[in-house]
Structure 1
Amino acid sequence: MKEILAINGGEKTVNENFVWPVYDETDVNAVAEVVRSGKWGNPDCEDLVAKFEKEFAEMCGTKYALTCVNGSVALRLALIACGVKPGDEVIVPPYTFIATTSIVLEANCVPVFVDIEPDTYNINPVGIEKAITEKTKAIIPVHFAGQSCNMDAIMAISKKYNLKVIEDACHAHGAEYKGMKLGSIGDVGCFSFQSSKNLTSGEGGIITTNDEKLYDMMNSLRNVGRVKGGQWYEHHNLGCNYRITQMQAVLLSNQLKRLGEQTQRRHNNGTYLNSLLEKIDGITPLARGLGETLHSYHIYIFKYDKSKFNNLPKVEFSKMLAAEGVPCFMGYPQPLYKQPLFLEKNFMCYAIPSEVDYSKVCCPVAEKACYEEAVWIFQNTMLGEKEDMDKFAEAITKIQKAVLS
């Protein structure tokens, strides 16, 4: 007897409620204690923020960590501290959140898009080297979905051409490349604590580095241009107040205690789910075994081939899968250079040369991912049980059988 799909009124395959964020009374009590203290902001008491920064640096294996209001600001402060000037070029991938590129524009620099690898959806090192000009000053590799970029190749290129590397690790809390924590390999690493992220306080961000000069500059920029040893009303650099609160810091400290176990669980579930989905004709998990020793799976991504599903469009497949109870999404609708921001050049950025025309940019792999292939499953589902992964595969098989019958 033919099974009825949930989208058509049938029973859902997956009935689990994947809760996020994960918290308990220790989180509530930690925040409540700060509230009762009456010392909520950094000017009142910086001890709790400094404590979390030290803990995060130790987790990452870096000398320094510096909190700020969000991951976007983390990237912006890192780029400015790396010494870019107006008109400089910064190499970025087109398959990422807008902030990876908008911060380049905010710094009056020129985003240069380099296509992604088809097996990982991370920036292609071969394309990076081809895109370098005398104006190139930095590379922002994005460890997309928690999968590490090819950092050996990227760091070799940066050394060859004397470029700064700013790791966008906003998806990669706790993830590793060849045993090194992501965010510790380049000149700077940037993380987000926005509500969907694997480590969260609702909003917030942090920057990691081993370079004392970069740390001091980023610290100044996030603290209204103040410098170590200076007075409260003494401002040396063009900064702003990008500090986080004591309440965010204690919440993050408490959440950090769970991160190691959660990351390992996501890694294990992702590996197991790969073994299930690779058996389904038309479903291809993104590649593993390319240097990542711990995958944080902020998003679990697989490639969908509609020709094996009776030419069912990706958007319809995604709706069917979500109806079956799998928390999923069809991913980015288009690469960043197709966004109105770039097509209409709504930059207010005086240093972008007039001849820069993003309508002429074409990154075929990124476009295929957006329009045809990529389907995302959300990170909180990767904290489920092995049986949940079985159900995800079962839901996809159920859809395939239904559309082919």
Structure 2
Amino acid sequence: MRAPLDVAIIGAGVAGLAAATLLTRAGHRVVVHERFETSRPLGSGLMQPTGLAALDRLGLRGSIEALGARIGRLHGITERGGTIFDLLYADLAPEFYAIGIHRAALHGELWAAFARSGAALETGRLIVDIEARADGRSSLQDEDGRSGPGFDLVIDASGARSRFRPLVSQAAAQDFSYGAVWAAVPDIGIADGQLAQRYVAARIMIGYLPVGRALPGGPPLAALFWSLKPGDYPQWRDGFEPWREQIVKLWPALAPVVAGLTSPDDLTLATYVHYTARKPFKGALALIGDSAHATSPQLGQGANNGLLDALALADALASCTDVPSALARYAQVRRAHVRFYQLASRVMTPFFQSDSGTLALVRDLTFDRAAKSPYLRRHMLHTLAGLKTGILTHRLPSDLAGDSAVGFDQAANAAI
């Protein structure tokens, strides 16, 4: 697109900051609107090979890898020691791995890139509506009823609880029955280089993920999480001491970590919703990241897919001559990848977070056996690494982090 656009981005999370940086670098006039005066990055996760390829395009891969912890293995067992998962990224390709990262570290690097780009920022203003103007542009209205200037394009990156989805689709977000409590804890080295999990049926899932440092020079950290129904959170708080005994009994190596958790306030409750926009735009409003496709973190793709959305939208705006065709292009580029992971997350989550004893038994009896088949193991690894675009199809990280409709190297794709 030759003429620079006036672009409003709602939300200064992973997807919003990435989009703002990319579009400002491309010459557009960008204003990010963030409801909080100061950023509040919470949580942690995995940067998959796809997310690392996206960070490479942003020029941030090196700094993220320096802060995070390299992860080469997903290892999950039952309370009786039976293997559910034992997957190595390197079995897919020697150069493949993930990075465990604290959200503060990821946000900090994206924020620094955003600040260097020169994009504008408005904080402390809650946007509640988007108004169409007579001139074809859109204005943002805040909770005090004030409207600002017009924009050629509005990008909703406000997250999983976005209030702007009804402007695009009548589909409703659905709450998952399970969430989790989690904490950033000192990394005591019990799961170096791996995401380790323990399961009791599908009712209990404990996870330990090394995530590196939240800040340069900080201590090595890990993410500890425990599955929990949000409705059971008050009961969990009241039974905090028995819970500490329970988690150590299930995973004795966690004892030093649990000893440092002295109050339920040391952990944070996370809740999850499932939402997929059939078409992530309408008019000059585009949804990216969790605003467009929220789900549980079971497959570890959230931040990665937000970065891929930002890149796809920026590429579409660069290659198309007008906003409508660019948004259609963005939706087309992301459709297959998003559709697969939304479906896979919806199908897989109950095997690990639900009250179903049947699903847990099926998981215990079949998942590890399936992984012993080279063909099925490869599909599992493609799914883990974020590469799948369909039941039988996948793409290279570099393809997914670029314009996925051009430059497709079938031979290279077949090699993995």
Please give the range of the TM-score, normalised by the shorter of the 2 chains.
under 0.3
Superposition TM-score, scaled by structure 2 size = 0.26
